[in-house]
A and B are shown apart, each in its own frame.
Chain A
Amino acid sequence: MGKREVVESCMDNLMIEMVSAYCNQFYATKPELAARRIEAIGYHVGHQLSERYTMEHPRFSDHLEAIKFICKDFWSELFKKQIDNLKTNHRGTFVLQDNRFRWLTRMSISPTNTDLSQDSSITTIENKALQATSMYLYFPCGIIRGALSNLGIACAVSADMSNHPACSFVVRVKA
């Protein structure tokens, strides 16, 4: 039997509601706290997935091997494609670029989708949409950090979506 699958919009909708609950409801005035919670959810997911996907995998000899695993096997499980470009300064910083990050291509939030309150003006809706899009990225950042943490690598992960729909994840390994 093949791997179990669900329709992609289930995942999209779940992320929309997660971000909306934390950003608009629980921490509407404290985006940094909302971000931390969303990252924590991602961390948990990444940690568990990495555990599952490395069960029959030999130990990684170094950081680069582990990062390559994230770029290839791990990313393929999640997005059915690999990371397109990996750069490193060989001093603990890695840049993982996905040229067409699935969650950014599908997650461009139109104002009609986020319009929950009738009285908001267009500009606040647009600001909210922009803020929400960047909020989504805390989730995959958390996933990467959780996955690497499970492989014994403590790091910080940030995302850069200035070349939308490309997305770069910057991994800084903690010394």
Chain B
Amino acid sequence: MAPVAPRSGDAVFANIERVNAELFTLTYGAIVRQLLTDLEEVEEVNKQLDQMGYNIGIRLIDEFLAKSNISRCVDFKETAEVIAKVGFKMFLGVSASVTNWEADGTCCSLVLEDNPLVDFVELPDTCQGLYYCNILSGVIRGALEMVSMKTEVTWVRDMLRGDDAYELRVKLLKQVPEEYPYKDDE
């Protein structure tokens, strides 16, 4: 069977069930707000958002692979481009750019100029230290872990903190060789 051609983020986004982004954005905001009340410590909220993102990422990768028809990436560089151009686009409707590569090709930045998570958001002074969009870094980390890449994802720039864009630093820590054939449970 001939391989199915990969689809662009735009094509997937156009042909998939979508919802009102306001609902999504306000729900995320209300969750962050409730977490701040319940967990009290901003650092704990950051951790919680990252964990929620991670849990989402490990599920989202299946939908991503199924709907985008993307096959194996040759290297981390291609992976980063795919996340930026297809991943962000097909789920959030925005694309990111990949910049600031380290010479060894294991660390780069994803820069988002448009970010639906933060529409209508203003952080009060009491939330200093909050990485409001930390769920995104968790999603990327979780999704990449499912395709055998251990990564560390951190925020470098955050418009809610006064920067001019959102910049995520993605560092490849380890590429775990895939075991094949997969082990059966029984």
Q: List 23 A-B contacts (CB under 8 A).
A: A4-B22, A6-B24, A7-B16, A10-B24, A11-B19, A11-B23, A11-B27, A13-B56, A14-B27, A14-B28, A15-B27, A16-B56, A20-B55, A21-B35, A21-B52, A37-B38, A41-B27, A41-B33, A41-B34, A44-B26, A49-B26, A77-B20, A113-B59
CB-contact partner of A6 in B21, B38, B52, B63, under 8 A: B21
Q: List residues of chain B with CB within 8 A of the CB of A11.
A: 19, 23-24, 27
Q: List residues of chain A with CB within 8 A of the CB of B34.
A: 37, 40-41, 44
In the complex, the 7 A-B pairs of residues with the closest C-beta atoms, listed nearest first: A5-B18, A4-B21, A17-B52, A44-B30, A8-B17, A13-B56, A41-B30
**A1-32: which residues lie under 8 A (CB-CB) from chain B?**
3-11, 13-18, 20-21, 26
**B interface: dominant SS:** helix
Q: List residues of chain A with CB within 8 A of the CB of B17.
A: 7-8
- Rounded to whole Å, the gap between the CB of B22 and the closest CB of chain A is 7
| Residue total for A at the interface (Cβ-Cβ under 8 A) | 30
Q: List residues of chain A with CB within 8 A of the CB of B35.
A: 21
Q: List residues of chain B with CB within 8 A of the CB of A5.
A: 18-21, 93
CB-contact partner of B38 in A3, A7, A9, A26, under 8 A: A26
Whether A45 sits at the interface, judged by CB under 8 Å, is: yes
CB-contact partner of B91 in A7, A15, A41, A113, under 8 A: A7
Are A49 and B63 interface neighbours, CB within 8 A? Answer: no
Are A44 and B33 interface neighbours, CB within 8 A? Answer: yes
Whether A78 sits at the interface, judged by CB under 8 Å, is: yes
Are B28 and A6 interface neighbours, CB within 8 A? Answer: no
Instruction: Tell me the nearest residue of chain B to A5, going by C-beta.
Output: B18
**A interface: dominant SS:** helix
Are B30 and A6 interface neighbours, CB within 8 A? Answer: no
Rounded to whole angstroms, the CA-CA distance of A9 and B90 in the bound complex is 11
Task: With A4-B119, A7-B90, A17-B56 as known contacts, state yes or no: A52 contacts B22, CB within 8 Å.
Answer: yes
Cβ contacts B101-141/A at 8 Å (1 or 0 each): 00000000000000010011000000000000000000000
Cβ contacts B54-87/A at 8 Å (1 or 0 each): 0110011001000000000000000000000000
**B32-47: which residues lie under 8 A (CB-CB) from chain A?**
33-35, 38
CB-contact partner of B60 in A9, A18, A21, under 8 A: A9
Whether B154 sits at the interface, judged by CB under 8 Å, is: no
Rounded to whole angstroms, the CA-CA distance of A6 and B92 in the bound complex is 5
Whether B8 sits at the interface, judged by CB under 8 Å, is: no
CB-contact partner of B16 in A3, A8, A49, A113, under 8 A: A8
CB-contact partner of A45 in B26, B60, B63, under 8 A: B26
Whether A108 sits at the interface, judged by CB under 8 Å, is: no
Q: List residues of chain A with CB within 8 A of the CB of B59.
A: 13, 113
